[in-house]
Structure 1
Amino acid sequence: MRADLSARAVDERELMDDPDADLRMLERTYERFHLINSVVSRWRAVYRRDIRPRARVRPIRILDVGAGGGDVSRALADWSRRDGLAVEVTALDADARADRWARSRGGGVEYRCAYTSDLVDAGATFDIVISNHLLHHLCDDELTALLGESAALVPDGGLVMHRDIARGRLAYLGFAAGTLPFARNLLAGSFIRADGLTSIRRAYTPAELAAVVPSGWQVRTAFPARLELRYEVPDAGS
């Protein structure tokens, strides 16, 4: 399978982003997202590394931006409950279709249908702001706005982590091969396979991301083909 990965395919559009997308396929996509995220997104490791240590010190609030079907938000809330930690998770998405479906799943999460700018205007703050597979949906100007608003939402000692796929031949071929056996069963009737390949074509490389982010942001990489855009606010008392 050949694809042009020399530059971001910013003119390509994911099927699920179409306002007229088939609702049954869209909801099937939300329902199956947790399968993909459990394999490639590694939020369990992030929880152990960055979230649980903070929550053992004091109660924390987490904002999940562009939460979609909310599977990452619900997983973080569930892991925190199992560990007996005081963690409040808010799943934020501006798409009313995603918000409506996610709300029906509950999971001890607060759901908001809004933009990060709305929360900034309201003076909201969170200890940790995250996103999963959001960056590749954005153009450079939208990315700049997201980063500014994310930073505005965290106080002293706060942390922002925007995690995404990194564009590359290995990521593209790996996803294509890994999802092919499930295209006619587990992933059938969803946008996951087609949109996953498009999302990799739209994704940043580490170098591209580092070239456009403001000072103070770190670009980290991890296997398999993971990007993490990270911003930490020093604790005023440290």
Structure 2
Amino acid sequence: MDPASRSAGARGGPRDRPSLRERAADLTELMDDPQCDPVALDRTYARFGLVNRLVSGWRGVYRTRIRPLARHVRSSTGSPLSILDIGFGGGDLPLALAHWARKDGIDLTITGIDPDERAFAFASRRRVPPGVAFRREGSADLVSRGERYDLVISNHVLHHLDSSALDNVLHDSAVLARHLVIHNDIERGRIAYAGYQVGITPIAPGSFLRTDGLRSIRRSYTAPELARVVPTGWRVEQHAPFRVLAVFDAHPTEATPSSPGRTPA
């Protein structure tokens, strides 16, 4: 194993118990360093799919929100649901959504955007099914061209952003969405932190998964914290253990219901 990978796996050991009372907003993740080890970065991207299947809760979001919205859009317009994924990282979420929709006989078009050339290079090497495309762009580029999508999503993006970038992404998302925006992220908590420390160990070696995952938890919002910073018209929901959603109904329909137990913005 190379030194960078050993370092990535060694930090944040089981005896490390940082305070989680407040966001560690100044903490930097290893993969956000442009000079980070490219081999370890690619290993991290490659394993995102497994991590997300275990912890992100997107399967439930797909069943309760995306699938009903896709059926609504098809019945009302005759067109497939168009989805924009902001900050696709390794590209696993668009591929997972396409797979689930195909099994259900639902047509989707999914565009993933990410300004990071390393993420784009990795995703471009993946086998991509029809209807899925990856582009190296930011959300502001799409807004400037007047693009629109039925649904705008992101996964594990919000906690990476400083306050200005967060405001910009939320603004752009609302402008780009015809119907719904769902930003899915980690909710900071001691149980989440301790569980991740243990659970990630078997698949972390040679990657940034352990160090960056623990730093992600420390950088993440609690639901009340996120509710205080999202704009008027947004709501914050806890949809799964240690998961939080920032949701915006751009054009509310019967297919985009509010969920119980939400934390209003």
Match of 1:219 among 233, 236, 245: 236
The residue that corresponds to 1:154 in the other structure is 177
Contact 2:180–2:252, Cα closer than 8 Å, also in 1: no
The residue that corresponds to 2:113 in the other structure is 92
Q: Could you say if the C-alpha distance between residues 153 and 178 of structure 1 is closer, same or farther in structure 2, counting changes exceeding 3 Å?
A: same
Deviation of the 1:83 alpha carbon:
1.9
Distance 2:147 2:69 in 1: 19
Letter matched to residue 191 of structure 1: F
1:37 lines up with 2:46 in the alignment: no
Cα deviations by residue, 1:138-186 (Å, 9 ceiling, x for unpaired) = 112211111100000012xx10000000111111111112223x1xxx3
Counterpart secondary structure, 1:170: helix
- Find runs of 4+ consecutive structure 1 residues off by over 6 angstroms: none
Letter matched to residue 186 of structure 2: I
Cα deviations by residue, 1:166-219 (Å, 9 ceiling, x for unpaired) = 111111111112223x1xxx3211100110000001111111111111111010
Deviation of the 1:82 alpha carbon:
2.0
Q: Could you say if the C-alpha distance between residues 45 and 235 of structure 1 is closer, same or farther in structure 2, counting changes exceeding 3 Å?
A: closer
Distance 1:107 1:56 in 2: 23
1:196 lines up with 2:213 in the alignment: yes
Distance 2:159 2:87 in 1: 12
Counterpart secondary structure, 2:149: coil
Deviation of the 1:236 alpha carbon:
8.8
Deviation of the 1:86 alpha carbon:
1.5
Match of 1:103 among 111, 124, 130: 124
Counterpart secondary structure, 1:56: helix
Contact 1:77–1:107, Cα closer than 8 Å, also in 2: no
The residue that corresponds to 1:54 in the other structure is 69
List gaps (5 residues or longer) in structure 1: none
Distance 1:198 1:116 in 2: 25
Cα deviations by residue, 1:15-67 (Å, 9 ceiling, x for unpaired) = 01110111110000010011110011011111111111122231110011110
Distance 2:150 2:51 in 1: 27
Distance 1:209 1:54 in 2: 25
1:187 lines up with 2:204 in the alignment: yes
1:175 lines up with 2:204 in the alignment: no
Describe how 1:113-124 pairs up with structure 2 within 5 A: 113-124=136-147
Deviation of the 1:222 alpha carbon:
3.0
1:125 lines up with 2:148 in the alignment: yes
Letter matched to residue 123 of structure 2: A
Greater mean alpha carbon deviation, residues 9-18 or residues 103-112: 103-112
Deviation of the 1:103 alpha carbon:
1.3
1:142 lines up with 2:165 in the alignment: yes
Contact 1:67–1:92, Cα closer than 8 Å, also in 2: yes
Deviation of the 1:85 alpha carbon:
1.5
Counterpart secondary structure, 2:102: helix
Deviation of the 1:235 alpha carbon:
4.9
Distance 2:199 2:184 in 1: 21
Distance 1:237 1:46 in 2: 16
1:4 lines up with 2:19 in the alignment: yes
The residue that corresponds to 1:229 in the other structure is 246
Counterpart secondary structure, 1:75: helix
Distance 2:99 2:184 in 1: 20
1:208 lines up with 2:240 in the alignment: no
Distance 1:29 1:5 in 2: 24
What percent identity do the matched residue pairs reach? 49
Contact 1:63–1:92, Cα closer than 8 Å, also in 2: yes
